[in-house]
Amino acid sequence: KAGVTQTPRYLIKTRGQQVTLSCSPISGHRSVSWYQQTPGQGLQFLFEYFSETQRNKGNFPGRFSGRQFSNSRSEMNVSTLELGDSALYLCASSERGAEQFFGPGTRLTVL
């Protein structure tokens, strides 16, 4: 099976803009989770979607949102970008909600 894919791989935005990141899970996986990775905070959970419903949410402001489509593909959106949002955004897919397999990530730089 093909692995988890994410687009775009790299993004440069300026403060105040918004951004949308996309994730395609492994075929057959219905759960998609999003994580933010930074050198200072490490890997932090953003939210998890299963069958188009947000099941769990981490401790991030409302500027971070997401959705999942009927084909299990997921998008996350960050509005009103801040410098501190610069990070590697990783999505992970899971068949049964336990073992999570990560995509290559989207490197977001906010200037």
Site pattern 40..79 for another protein (x: CB under 8 A): --xxxxxxx-xx---xx-xx--------------------
CB burial class (10 A; 0-12, 13-18, 19+) of residue 60? middle
Site pattern 82..101 for another protein (x: CB under 8 A): --------x---xxxxxxxx
Percent of residues in the chain assigned helix, strand, coil, to nearest 5: 5, 55, 45
Give bridge partners of residue 44 from the DSSP assignment.
36
Contacting positions for another protein (CB under 8 A): 31, 33, 35, 42-48, 50-51, 55-56, 58-59, 90, 94-105
